[in-house]
């Protein structure tokens, strides 16, 4: 899956402390409404896979193919060559998610 993203991003590159990633699918209700946490006032955390990092990203663990946890309000989404790309700052990443771990 990552090789597809790498190919699509050959003409665009993250700069500075920016990280480009693709968001994982979000759980939704039957009506298409995003489910809230039990307190019903916080949005759930989001996970995604890094596809590109800027030259000022300091954490060497943030590499293409790494899955991370972040909050949806941390950045913005744009479309490039038919691919939805999410752009966040390095500091907005909360954790690295190990393989086969599900965050709800």
3-state secondary structure of 104: coil
Residue 72 contacts residue 87 (beta carbons within 8 Å): no
pTM: 0.74
Query: What is the tens place of the pLDDT at every residue in 6-44?
Result: 444 678 899 999 999 998 876 555 455 555 555 555 566
């Amino acid at each position: 899956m990552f090789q597809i993203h790498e190919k699509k991003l050959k003409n665009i590159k993250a700069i500075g402390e920016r990280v480009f990633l693709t968001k994982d699918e979000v759980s939704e209700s039957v009506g298409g409404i995003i489910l809230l946490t039990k307190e019903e006032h916080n949005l759930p955390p989001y996970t995604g896979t890094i596809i590109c990092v800027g030259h000022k990203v300091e954490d060497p663990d943030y590499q293409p193919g790494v899955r991370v946890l972040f909050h949806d309000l941390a950045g913005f989404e744009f479309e490039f060559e038919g691919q939805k790309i999410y752009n966040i700052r390095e500091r907005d990443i909360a954790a690295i998610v190990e393989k086969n771990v599900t965050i709800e």
